Amino acid sequence: MEFTATQIAEYLHGTVEGDATVKVHDFAKIEEGEAGKLSFLSNPKYEQYLYTSKASIVLVNNDFTPQQPLNTTIIRVENAYESLAALLTLVQKYAVRKTGISTNAHISTSATIGENAYIAPFVYIGENTVIGKNAQIHAHCTIEDNVKIGDNFTSYANVTINDDIQIGNNCILHAGVVIGGDGFGFAPSEDGSYNKIPQTGNVIIEDNVEVGSNSTIDRATLGSTIIRSGVKIDNLVQIAHNVEIGENTVMAAQTGIAGSTKIGKHCVFAGQVGVAGHINIADGTIFGAQSGVPNSVKLPNQILMGYPAIAVGNFRRSTVVYKNLPELQRTVYELEKKIETEKK
């Protein structure tokens, strides 16, 4: 598909500066812009590329003031990054979707598949499973018995969804995701060995949830592990049994949440955050990368970092002290030596 700057500006409620008739058919990063492609500028660090970019159209924020002459058409919008996302979503909406059920897929006779589904070769769908309209289920996915999945579901290759899982509308599971594997439940015995505790609960995933590649969400020991609407989970994230994650919380790669922890709404977890079990995290909490969280966070809307996670301002001041510890230690030794000398 091809669009003019005028058409794009009308869709985004933006303003064109430059050639309003110029057309684009694809997207590119601003530093790799080419004729016929659209790019965007939202981070000032990349402004230098705007003046040399060959992209035909560049989205910029309304308050952007160029420091040099421009060789491209710009469209001013309220938020360039959000506008790019809106355009990408529009293009994806009109992309050709696969349909049809492969003869090499195994679908149990008691399963129900909604209309306009695509089911690739070597997919397995178990007994009494119900899948809504417009599903896209790619090769080698396994969906076990008594699973309930809403409309517009996408699962990429090698996804595993175990028994009794519930998934809402508009959810996306990327390659290698496992939903409903057993939680890590073992009881120590007197001889030092461990006895497995059966995990008899399930997982409930609400609407508009996306889970990144090779992430895992364990079933509950009893009851449900719950992922609320709008949650976005990156690759290689571990969600343990009986965890509850609040609406519109996001988690970056290699985050791990231990069992029975309750996380509030609109929280942000940067990469490699580790959260202990049986604690509560208040709404709006933001954790910096590699933070360790051993205790509950009771006050909402804090930014925390470090181990144990503390207010980010305190963490930054603490790192300055930590970096200077060798010098501080040397000063202390010198003072001790001076005191001992004066005593003599």
CATH number at residue 85: 3.40.1390.10
81-128 pLDDT, tens per residue?
A: 999 999 998 888 887 788 899 999 999 999 999 999 999 999 999 999
pLDDT in the model for residue 289: 97
Catalytic residue among 25, 140, 174, 241: 241
Residues 167 and 287 in one domain: yes
Residues 339 and 235 in one domain: no
Residues 80 and 104 in one domain: no
What's the average model confidence in pLDDT over 231-243?
A: 98
Residues 327 and 273 in one domain: no
pLDDT in the model for residue 321: 87
What's the average model confidence in pLDDT over 71-88?
A: 96
Q: What is the CATH number of the domain that holds 140?
A: 2.160.10.10
The percent of residues in the chain predicted with pLDDT above 90, rounded, is: 88
Annotation says 241 is catalytic = yes
Residue 23 belongs to what domain range? 3-93
What's the average model confidence in pLDDT over 189-200?
A: 95
Indicate if the pLDDT at residue 343 is higher than 80.
no
3-state SS track over the chain:
CCEEHHHHHHHHCCEEECCCCCEECEECCHHHCCCCEEEEECCHHHHHHHCCCCCCEEEEECCCCCCCCCCCEEEEECCHHHHHHHHHHHHHHCCCCCCEECCCCEECCCCEECCCCEECCCCEECCCCEECCCCEECCCCEECCCCEECCCCEECCCCEECCCCEECCCCEECCCCEEEECCCCEEECCCCCEEECCCCCEEEECCCCEECCCCEEECCCCCEEEECCCCEECCCCEECCCCEECCCCEECCCCEECCCCEECCCCEECCCCEECCCCEECCCCEECCCCEECCCECCCCCEEECCCCEEHHHHHHHHHHHHCHHHHHHHHHHHHHHHHHHHC
This prediction's pTM: 0.87
pLDDT in the model for residue 52: 93
Looking at every residue in the chain, the average pLDDT score rounds to 95
Q: How confident is the model at residue 344 (pLDDT cuts 50, 70, 90)?
A: low
Residues 166 and 304 in one domain: yes
261-295 pLDDT, tens per residue?
A: 999 999 999 999 999 999 999 999 999 999 999 99
